[in-house]
Amino acid sequence: MPGPTAGSALSGGRARTLAQVYRHFGEVDAAGTSPLYERVAVALSESDEALRAIGTAPARKRHPKVILAALHDLALAGRAPELAAAYAAADADAAAGAAIDTLLRTTDSVVAIAARRQPRTNETGRCAVLYPAIAEAARRVGAPAVGLIDVGSSAGLNLHVERVGITYSNGQSLGDPSSPVQLSSSVVGDRPLPTRAMPEVVARVGIDVDPVDVTDADDVRWLRACLSPDQPEQAARLEAELALAATAPPLLLQGDAVETLPDAFARVPADALPVVTTTWALSRVPLESRLRFLHRLDEAAAGRAVAWVSAEGVGVAPTIPTLGDRRASGHSIIGVAVFDRSALRAEAVGRCWSRGRLLAWLADS
């Protein structure tokens, strides 16, 4: 019977061996951004023992991002001192050897972390897209205040969108210029962004199957572990984001979004507009679940207006126009949908690339 190096590493798509997945991650995904992870991933791909250890993890948790984060988590926790030292010294060769040794010595711990955790990405970078879209949704309803409900919230960092400073390449700026978290985004095209300020945020609610609490030391360590160790600028930004979020921790609800949304809506005051945000969250669920999610929004709108702001791949968000763009085109559609009793108004207000690093605003402002 073939071992894990010969089996499919991940579900879906054309089957590749674990060795191929790890080599591709090192030579393509990590190349140019993380020399440490480039070397470590290639070393793992060349070690049959390491691949067999990785193969004991659930199939969907064998991805390099998850396993490398689990190893990093052990290093940050003081449970892999040699790996931590190699990372601190930015010694790629030493890190490769220490990563394999740590994996083989603590396979059960690595697999347990990988099985329990979800890989996390830097969330507040998405605020460059969310801020103008949320402000636009509030304008369309005439809302004096909003309650933010973020699906797939990852510590709720998206929920502090109005508390960060955002500078755009065309000279426009939004948010708080004095915030310790400052972001930048490039504007594509000639149409300017709407410059109106977001109304007062009176509720911040995150929904996640595996919520990350910025006040919990283990959860915070996991967020740090999801960054590669040789990216000090990203690490410094994460620390600023965590400090900002910790000053007003959001309410985190654990569970499936479809089942949990009614509880989340109940946490938003009656005189505020509930704004549900999804940023590249719906692509992880089947179409049936997306349609049920849409139905939940429609149900909530029976008593008051509800808005949904989305940044999803082309054709992923139901009811949001695709502008004739092709699926898997490499960019995402920014959507604003307003549910008001029996009426639904859905519009594609922009396009974005690279998780909001580039943005084209399309709607009249």
Q: Where are the domains of the chain?
A: 18-116, 126-214+249-361
Q: What Cα–Cα distance (Å) separates residue 127 from each residue in 167, 175, 204, 241?
A: 11, 9, 14, 12
| Residues lower than pLDDT 70 in the chain | 1-15, 122-124, 153-155, 365
- Residue 220 exposure: Cα atoms within 13 Å on the Cβ side: 14
> Is residue 148 a contact partner of residue 205, using CB atoms and an 8 Å limit?
yes
* Total-model pTM: 0.87
Asked if 207 and 150 count as a contact pair (C-beta separation under 8 A), the reply is yes
Do residues 341 and 311 touch, judged by C-beta distance below 8 A?
Answer: no
Task: Write down the pLDDT at residue 19.
Answer: 97
Q: Cβ distance 238 to 227 under 8 Å?
A: yes
Task: Note the pLDDT of residue 156.
Answer: 74
pLDDT reported for residue 154:
59
The H-or-E segment that residue 182 falls in is strand 182-187
Cα separation of the two ends of the chain: 62
Measure the CA–CA gap between 58 and 110, rounded to whole angstroms.
12
pLDDT at 12: 40
